[in-house]
Amino acid sequence: MPQGVVEIGKSLDATHTLFKKPRRSNSGQTVFFEKPVHILAGGSVVANREGEGPVGNFFDNVIADHDKEKNFEHAEIRMLKESILHAVQKSGLLLSDIDMLLSGDLLNQITTSNYVARDLGLPYIGLYSACSTMSQALAIGGCFLNAGYFDHVACATVSHFATAERQYRHPLEYGAQRPPYAQWTVTGAGCTVLARDVKATTGSGVRLTSATFGKVVDMGITDVANMGAAMAPAALDTLLALLDDTGYRPEEFDLILTGDLGKLGSDVLRELAAEQGYALGQNYTDCGTLIYDNTQKCYQGGSGAGCSASVFNSYILDRMQEGYYKRVAFLATGALMSPQSCYQGESIPCISHAVVVER
Amino acid sequence: MPQGVVEIGKSLDATHTLFKKPRRSNSGQTVFFEKPVHILAGGSVVANREGEGPVGNFFDNVIADHDKEKNFEHAEIRMLKESILHAVQKSGLLLSDIDMLLSGDLLNQITTSNYVARDLGLPYIGLYSACSTMSQALAIGGCFLNAGYFDHVACATVSHFATAERQYRHPLEYGAQRPPYAQWTVTGAGCTVLARDVKATTGSGVRLTSATFGKVVDMGITDVANMGAAMAPAALDTLLALLDDTGYRPEEFDLILTGDLGKLGSDVLRELAAEQGYALGQNYTDCGTLIYDNTQKCYQGGSGAGCSASVFNSYILDRMQEGYYKRVAFLATGALMSPQSCYQGESIPCISHAVVVER
């Protein structure tokens, strides 16, 4: 009888490999973490504008845009590095306890992450997922720890207003005007330290319980100032997969948190979700709308990989630790175009990766 | 008694969680795949120059640099897409059987991979690891399948001479001269389809047995034409971790294959390895030296993410399937700088990720 074929009438042993297949999701996009993936701590470093915003008191450090550094790129490197060190320190670990750094950023060739990985001397996986890097890193890190490959993984990302503007749009010196539907790239970094195991006395009490990997969604938008509208359909696509796979209804989350859709993009997501029969209520918000207030003249709100990274690793984790939020769906959202692809007439491909975080 | 503490004198049950920790490596960088990670098939598409080289007959398809496409970037997109479709087809699968695409490339914001992920409609993780993308993708894909998260994963990358030259160095129209130690970016793509399970009658008989994640190594080289020398120390660093973790001696591999060090970089690696007491013999070679011959005027040989990707997924996998190579260490190598970071005086950070492939 060929291997793997079960004789009819013969009962299967419960340890048979057929039963060992991990729980699979309907969409195939979700991985369930049946073994604990603990969040030990989050670290966050931002610049002055973010520090003056509504959640400014929750960040670990607020520094000037180019404080003591010779250029904006070096300031970005410093912010990412400091956010990682804050997270490691708050975890009660040493840097040498970190087995793997998962990081990416918005700059060409993710040089910020590369130089930080060099300076910290950690095994390193470079990621590119634009502004959805934070949840992509958490999703991969969760997969690694759930499988027991490592003990501690650091997931991090960063963005910087000045480096992003001159790379993606115009050097600041041009003084180019922005349309009212634009967003403001956050100058900030965030890092989460994940652990496979946790001593009873340490840890934030917060765990990752599943990860949903997104697909690229492109509705044909070509205006690079209109990121929120471009990314909303990608957020919807991943949210629908997450709800279908986990079986949760939207109201069963204390918070559904998208990355950086901004005010306009959030409204678009609400409308798109309503069309699918899901009314997103008061428990839905967006990091881009949380980080600045209306007096700060940031148009539709924050964007950039550092937006969701800094908000998640400060305000959100703090609120979860104190028990205010018990179950959060975190969907960072990314627009994956380059200036070159836009000049060539391509539209903006977008993606959103999601993790469910529970206390 | 606190949880997890074992009473002295009391024997532990073999199923106790203490015994369930997966095998760990000395360096902490290696993950051992104790459950099978099968290579179902490789796909490869290159341009004319690569097709005319020594391993030209092994590629699935040879097309012109910009055959039927309106620009080089679109040709690159087409090559990556075709290499994935070749690999899926040779695996005996449908595209809908692929649960996850792991891909990256050399272009800013890895747009080639993003547009391919959009067009194929697969769940997608974007990676950036320059020319070490192929082994980074295989390493992550192996980790996912060993843990049973997915059934089939496609790992892919691409590079294109014309798109890389104009982004990293000079537009071709300038006719800039190259120093003799330069390499030639390969126009080509490669994809490997990995599977968690395999029917007895299918599959190449080739498996991934471990993955070693690299650290960033930067020896201070700032000349972007001298990639081979910059990357050789990173290849050494990962090779030493791999040998230490797996316990293999270099001569126990039928082939140790680096990504794209080229002739000069390979010589540097041989010297550096000798200093560490490892004489790399006839079983060491480099994809950059395999892909072109001396008559093709490609200086030190091939480079680019597509170099190791196309060679590994054609010649190497074919040779493994026919049993000529039984155990191969594949270490793709990447230089992680950007033109901007080089203009700012930064040196070139490099990385190498490794996988062990066995028949």
Three-state DSSP string of chain A: CCCCCCCCCCCCCCCCHHHCCCCECCCCCEEEEEEEEEEEEEEEEECHHHHCCCCHHHCCEECCCCCCCCCHHHHHHHHHHHHHHHHHHHCCCCHHHCCEEEEEECCHHHHHHHHHHHHHCCEEEEECCHHHHHHHHHHHHHHHHHCCCCCEEEEEEEECHHHHHHHHCCCHHHCCCCCCCCCEECCEEEEEEEECCCCCCCCCCEEEEEEECCECECCCCCCCCCHHHHHHHHHHHHHHHHHHHHCCCHHHCCEEEECCCHHHHHHHHHHHHHHCCCCCCCCEEEHHHHCCCHHHCCCCCEECHHHHHHHHHHHHHHHHHCCCCCEEEEEEEEECCCHHHHHCCCCCCEEEEEEEEEC
Q: What integer pLDDT is reported at residue A22 of this predicted model?
A: 60
- Which residues of A are less than 8 Å from B108 in CB distance? 108-109, 338-340
Print pLDDT tens along chain B (359 aa): 334 333 333 343 434 333 345 677 888 999 999 988 999 999 999 999 999 999 999 999 999 866 688 999 999 999 999 999 999 999 999 999 999 999 999 999 999 999 999 999 999 999 999 999 999 999 999 999 999 999 999 999 999 999 999 999 888 888 888 898 999 999 999 999 999 987 655 667 899 999 999 999 999 998 888 889 999 999 999 999 999 999 999 999 999 999 999 999 999 999 999 999 999 999 999 999 999 998 998 889 999 999 999 999 999 999 999 999 999 999 999 999 999 999 999 999 999 999 999 99
Q: Given an 8 Å threshold on Cβ–Cβ distance, is A99 in contact with B28?
A: yes
- Which member of A28, A149, A215 has the closest CB to residue B121? A215
Q: Given an 8 Å threshold on Cβ–Cβ distance, is A126 in contact with B127?
A: yes
Residue A4 inside a domain? The answer is no
DSSP B217: B
Asked if B349 contacts B217 with a C-beta cutoff of 8 angstroms, the reply is yes
Q: Given an 8 Å threshold on Cβ–Cβ distance, is B140 in contact with A136?
A: no
Quickly state the pLDDT bin for A3 (edges 50, 70, 90): very low
pTM listed for this prediction: 0.93
User: What domain range includes position B127?
Assistant: 24-359
B42: distance to nearest CA of chain A, Å? 23
Rounded distance between C-alpha atoms, residue B203 and residue B41, angstroms: 7
A243: distance to nearest CA of chain B, Å? 16
Q: Given an 8 Å threshold on Cβ–Cβ distance, is B147 in contact with A150?
A: no
Residue A5 inside a domain? The answer is no
Residue B351 inside a domain? The answer is yes
Q: Which residue on chain A is closest to B130 by alpha carbon?
A: A109
Q: Which residue on chain B is closest to A122 by alpha carbon?
A: B215
Q: What integer pLDDT is reported at residue B26 of this predicted model?
A: 85
Q: What integer pLDDT is reported at residue A297 of this predicted model?
A: 87
- Which residues of A are less than 8 Å from B3 in CB distance? 200
User: How far are the Cα atoms of A175, B81, B156 from residue B140, in angstroms, in the given order?
Assistant: 43, 20, 12
Rounded to the nearest angstrom, the gap between the alpha carbon of residue A131 and the centroid of all alpha carbons in its chain is 7
Residue A13 inside a domain? The answer is no
- Which residues of B are less than 8 Å from A217 in CB distance? 118
Asked if A178 contacts A225 with a C-beta cutoff of 8 angstroms, the reply is yes
Q: What integer pLDDT is reported at residue A202 of this predicted model?
A: 60
Asked if B99 contacts B150 with a C-beta cutoff of 8 angstroms, the reply is yes
- Which residues of A are less than 8 Å from B122 in CB distance? 215
Token pair 């001159």: residue: A166
Q: What integer pLDDT is reported at residue B21 of this predicted model?
A: 53
B330: distance to nearest CA of chain A, Å? 17
Q: Return the higher-pLDDT residue of A14 and A89.
A: A89
- Could you give the number of structural domains in chain A? 1
- Which member of A111, A127, A337 has the closest CB to residue B111? A337
Q: Which residue on chain A is closest to B4 by alpha carbon?
A: A199
Chain A interface, mutation test: which of B5, B34, B114, B245, most A Cβ atoms within 10 Å?
B114
Q: Given an 8 Å threshold on Cβ–Cβ distance, is B341 in contact with A73?
A: yes
Count the neighbouring beta carbons within 10 Å of the beta carbon of residue B13: 9
Q: Tell me the CATH number at A28.
A: 3.40.47.40
End-to-end Cα spacing for chain A: 49
Rounded distance between C-alpha atoms, residue A236 and residue A242, angstroms: 10
Residue A17 inside a domain? The answer is no
- Which member of A3, A107, A218 has the closest CB to residue B118? A218
Mean pLDDT, range A153-180, rounded to an integer: 92
- Which member of A118, A218, A336 has the closest CB to residue B349? A118
Torsion over CA: A44, A317, A29, A233 (sign) = negative
B69: distance to nearest CA of chain A, Å? 12
Q: Given an 8 Å threshold on Cβ–Cβ distance, is B124 in contact with A20?
A: no
Token pair 């200086």: residue: B299
- Which member of B3, B109, B340 has the closest CB to residue A337? B109
Token pair 């006719």: residue: B175
Q: Which residue on chain A is closest to B116 by alpha carbon?
A: A216
Q: What integer pLDDT is reported at residue A79 of this predicted model?
A: 96
Residue A219 inside a domain? The answer is yes
DSSP B215: B
Q: Given an 8 Å threshold on Cβ–Cβ distance, is A115 in contact with B341?
A: yes
Mean pLDDT rounded to a whole number for chain A: 90
Q: Given an 8 Å threshold on Cβ–Cβ distance, is A114 in contact with B31?
A: no
- Which member of B100, B121, B128 has the closest CB to residue A110? B128
pLDDT in tens, A16-61: 333 345 677 888 999 999 988 999 999 999 999 999 999 999 999 9
Beta strands A184-185; B206-212: pairing state: unpaired
pLDDT in tens, A118-127: 999 999 999 9
- Which residues of B are less than 8 Å from A218 in CB distance? 118
ipTM value of the model? Answer: 0.92
Backbone φ and ψ of B296, nearest 5°: -90, 0
End-to-end Cα spacing for chain B: 48
- Which residues of A are less than 8 Å from B20 in CB distance? 148
Beta bridge pairs of residue A207? A38, A358
Q: What integer pLDDT is reported at residue B25 of this predicted model?
A: 82
Nearest-10 crossing angle of helices B161-168, B72-90: 130
Rounded distance between C-alpha atoms, residue A195 and residue A154, angstroms: 9
- Which residues of A are less than 8 Å from B149 in CB distance? 22, 31, 143
Residue B211 inside a domain? The answer is yes
- Which residues of B are less than 8 Å from A95 in CB distance? none
Three-state DSSP state, B318: helix
Q: What integer pLDDT is reported at residue B3 of this predicted model?
A: 41
Type of residue numbered A324: Y
Residue A239 inside a domain? The answer is yes
Q: What integer pLDDT is reported at residue B17 of this predicted model?
A: 39
Q: What integer pLDDT is reported at residue A172 of this predicted model?
A: 87
User: How far are the Cα atoms of A77, A115, B307 from residue B218, in angstroms, in the given order?
Assistant: 16, 9, 22
Q: What angle do CA A321, A324, A330 make, to 5 degrees?
A: 75
Rounded distance between C-alpha atoms, residue A42 and residue A20, angstroms: 34
Three-state DSSP state, B298: coil
